[in-house]
Structure 1
Amino acid sequence: MNANAPARASVVITTYNWPQALELALEALARQHTLPCEVVVADDGSRDDTRAMLERIAPAFPVPLRHSWIEDRGFRVSLARNRAIAATSGDYVLLLDGDMLPHPMFVADHLHAAERGSFVQGMRVLTDEEGRDRLLRHEVSQLGFFDSGLTRRRHTLRIPPLAALSLRSTRGQSESAIKTCNQGWWRDDLVMLNGFDERFEGWGREDKDLAVRAFHAGLERRSLRFAGLATHLYHPERHEEGASPNDGLLAETRATGRVRSPQGLDRHIAEFAAHPLPDLRAG
């Protein structure tokens, strides 16, 4: 283990009206070789069936399980994530999407990769419809390199020495393939950046905006390959090159050199310090 690794990692996992996928992701988090100190579900307005699922699985969950829900008023994942981050207690925050199934060494690998002055960008294994359905039917808990139903199957390979090399060779401030479906951040860096910019509503660019502001603050991006693995359950996606209503805000961030979000995390920290999110295991 990295001698300077964070002591406690909180997982913030986003969701919206796909409780079947979220349950699989939570099952995978419960099987971690190194457990997080807590899991906070950042819920962007799901129906009651998501809450019911969380309450059903909570009694057997191995760490505190918290549910941060906001009203469904369109795509507001920046707000949902900020409220969940504000509710965390760990010194490191792992951002994960609710359609991502983490490898049993996911948390341990991210803790080992953590380094001050940087955030870690993880990769994702992509499934097609066949692979997704096999996982949702519980035929398998994980797909390997030789299984059908995968694309980008190279990301199924966990090879720690190559992971260490990738972290060393990818230092820098590249904006390519920034995805908050699999990222690791020091919590105090997120506080310094004031988290996500909640003016970003509708699909896209809130993740890239966070990274650009981190670069303005002098943080580096380090890419984690061959470790910190997670498998994405197939669904139709918007493409990165497609237009977003938030493109203008991202351009403003780049042009101004902004570091802190003007509408972000500091709106919620005092609330959760005074009234922590309850652990669903308590009933």
Structure 2
Amino acid sequence: MDMKTFSKSALIISTYNWPEALRLCLLSVREQSVLPDEVIIADDGSTGQTAEVIEALRPSFPMKLIHVWQEDEGFQLSKIRNKAIASSSADYIIQIDGDLILHKHFVKDHLALSKRGTFVAGSRVLMNKELSENMLGRQQARVAPFQQGLGNFSNRFSITWLCRYMADRYKTQDIFALRGCNMAFWREDLLRVNGYNEVFHAWGREDNEIAVRLLNAGLKKRAAKFGGVVFHIYHPEVDRGGCPKNEAYLTDALLNKTVYCSKGIHQYLESIEPVRMAEQEFAL
């Protein structure tokens, strides 16, 4: 990667009412071998406990730590991600969820995969309940790849040469081989397709749908395989009752070769100026 291809990178972390997991995630961000220029918490209506965690960590954070919050009106992940992206001053956006512990080279790996005309989709390593509870209790932000309680063996390792080799070879046309908890985009490409589609009001498929629109816009999908490693903290599965409707939205984007969604990020661009101060917090 030519480091001069962009001036700033941002890590956007979505969260909702799990401050213990978010704190662990932020501790792993603080230990990155290469740091993003800004970290933005995309908070879908958490209580004040989440804000307290962020404020407690802010003085020790080596980069801007920004909290973008909205009222709790049910599952509004697409909306809060759009608001976070709109508030970013970075050229390159790395996106995760707040229930992840990052490998120390996570950001470094993603920046190495950045390439104009592409977006990146990564995977995750599942942690079982026992290991997750142990790490949450100890607030331990490092996971050893051979630790008991981990699944997805091949997803545990950051191997630079193999990551580079696999980037344009691993399921590059498969829109289901991606997870919104581990993706990266050029901000200008997100604006081009109007960001996330805010018709999604329940869990699932908003990440696949934006990938479809990016592909329809002429971008290519790259894989973060053997790189961009994240460890997923165990929690019970979320309610998937909204999936049939979300599947229909995805199918519509596929059949109609949709590029631009009607309700997306552009509605926020005039009201949000890029964040310049670490102390600034948005409540939208």
TM-score range, shorter chain: over 0.9
Identity among equivalent pairs (%) = 36
Correspondence for 1:279: 278
Are the structure 2 counterparts of residues 6 and 228 from structure 1 closer, same or farther at C-alpha, using a change threshold of 3 Å? farther
Correspondence for 2:88: 88
**1:43-82 pair list within 5 angstroms:** 43-82=43-82
Aligned equivalents of 1:263 and 1:199: distance in 2? 7
Cα deviation for residue 242 of structure 1 reads 8.7
Are the structure 2 counterparts of residues 153 and 265 from structure 1 closer, same or farther at C-alpha, using a change threshold of 3 Å? same
Cα deviation for residue 170 of structure 1 reads 2.8
Aligned equivalents of 1:171 and 1:234: distance in 2? 26
Correspondence for 2:152: 152
Correspondence for 1:191: 191
Aligned equivalents of 1:217 and 1:22: distance in 2? 34
Unpaired runs of at least 5, structure 2: none
Root-mean-square deviation (CA), in Å? 2.1
Correspondence for 2:260: 260
Moved over 6 A (4+): 239-242
Q: Match of 1:169, SS?
A: coil
Q: Which amino acid aligns with 1:34?
A: V
**1:1-283 pair list within 5 angstroms:** 1-2=1-2, 5-138=5-138, 140-170=140-170, 172-238=172-238, 243-273=243-273, 276=275, 279-280=278-279
Aligned equivalents of 1:104 and 1:186: distance in 2? 22
Cα deviation for residue 132 of structure 1 reads 0.7
Are the structure 2 counterparts of residues 139 and 17 from structure 1 closer, same or farther at C-alpha, using a change threshold of 3 Å? closer
Are the structure 2 counterparts of residues 241 and 199 from structure 1 closer, same or farther at C-alpha, using a change threshold of 3 Å? closer
User: How many correspondences in the alignment?
Assistant: 281
* Alignment check: 8 A CA contact 1:17 1:50 kept: yes
Q: Which amino acid aligns with 2:246?
A: N
Are the structure 2 counterparts of residues 140 and 264 from structure 1 closer, same or farther at C-alpha, using a change threshold of 3 Å? same
Cα deviation for residue 249 of structure 1 reads 1.7
Aligned equivalents of 1:242 and 1:157: distance in 2? 34
Are the structure 2 counterparts of residues 277 and 5 from structure 1 closer, same or farther at C-alpha, using a change threshold of 3 Å? closer
Cα deviation for residue 124 of structure 1 reads 0.8
Cα deviation for residue 265 of structure 1 reads 0.6
Aligned equivalents of 1:119 and 1:239: distance in 2? 28
* Alignment check: 8 A CA contact 1:125 1:150 kept: yes
Are the structure 2 counterparts of residues 272 and 134 from structure 1 closer, same or farther at C-alpha, using a change threshold of 3 Å? same
Cα deviation for residue 251 of structure 1 reads 1.9
Aligned equivalents of 1:94 and 1:48: distance in 2? 25
Aligned equivalents of 1:36 and 1:3: distance in 2? 13
Q: Which moved more, 1:262-271 or 1:239-248?
A: 239-248
- 1:74-118 deviation digits (Å, cap 9, x = unpaired): 000000100000001111000000001111111111111111111
Q: Match of 2:168, SS?
A: helix
Aligned equivalents of 2:97 and 2:146: distance in 1? 25
Aligned equivalents of 1:211 and 1:239: distance in 2? 23
Aligned equivalents of 1:147 and 1:18: distance in 2? 24
Aligned equivalents of 1:250 and 1:23: distance in 2? 33
